Structure 1
Amino acid sequence: MFIHLGGEKVIRSSELIGIFDLSIERSSKISKHFVQQASLENRIEIIGEEESKSLVVTRSRVYYSPISSSTLKKRAESISHQLQ
């Protein structure tokens, strides 16, 4: 199954590790360090031109999505229920 992250970006649900509100980047030193390291490794992708609202972590990349974390979580949960 797939999850639409915004713009033209779609990922496999099996690649998803976590969906976070963007405020976590400002409030957590660990999160900030994680994002900085991903940036150094060129694993960051900003989706679209709109303001980013969430951070989506997959096995290979970190995405800044213009879609809220709550909406993305609902999409992921919907897929999870379909698989059961």
Structure 2
Amino acid sequence: MFAHIGEDYVVNSSELLLIMSYDIFMSSEDNLRILESLKNEDRLVVINDDLKKSIIILEIDGRLYAIVSPVSSTTIAKRFLNFNYYVDNYLDES
């Protein structure tokens, strides 16, 4: 299942490890080091430099990637839940 996370970006739930508020994530020194490492390895995408509401951590082919999104973490989580609810109900009706 996929969820839209801002502009032209969607995330596959099978690759999703974490959705978190950007401000909370950035309050940890360990998280800052992780983000800096991902940035140095070109595995960090910032969708909108002016609006940073959430961070999404993905594992793709055994490697971590991070996306900073202008969409709130609760909205992204709801998108995953609503998609799952829609698919479950659609399949039940068939």
* TM class by smaller structure: 0.7 to 0.9
Q: Please list the CA deviations of residues 16-74 of structure 1 after superposition, one character each: whole Å capped at 9, or x if unmatched.
A: 11101011233111111111111111100011454111001111421010001111111
The alignment-based identity, stated in percent, is 30
Query: Superposition pairs for residues 1-84 of structure 1, below 5 Å?
Result: 1-48=1-48, 50-60=50-60, 61-81=65-85
Separation in structure 2 between the aligned mates of residue 69 and residue 62 of structure 1, nearest angstrom: 13
Describe the shift of the 1:37–1:49 C-alpha distance in structure 2 as closer, same or farther (beyond 3 A): closer
Cα RMSD (Å): 1.8
Describe the shift of the 1:43–1:78 C-alpha distance in structure 2 as closer, same or farther (beyond 3 A): same
Q: Secondary structure at the match of 1:5?
A: strand
TM-score, normalised relative to structure 1? 0.85
Larger Rg: 2
Count of residue pairs the alignment pairs up = 84
Instruction: Structure 2: give runs of 5+ residues left out of the alignment.
Output: 89-94
Instruction: Structure 1: give runs of 5+ residues left out of the alignment.
Output: none
Superposed structure 1 runs of 4+ greater than 6 Å apart: none
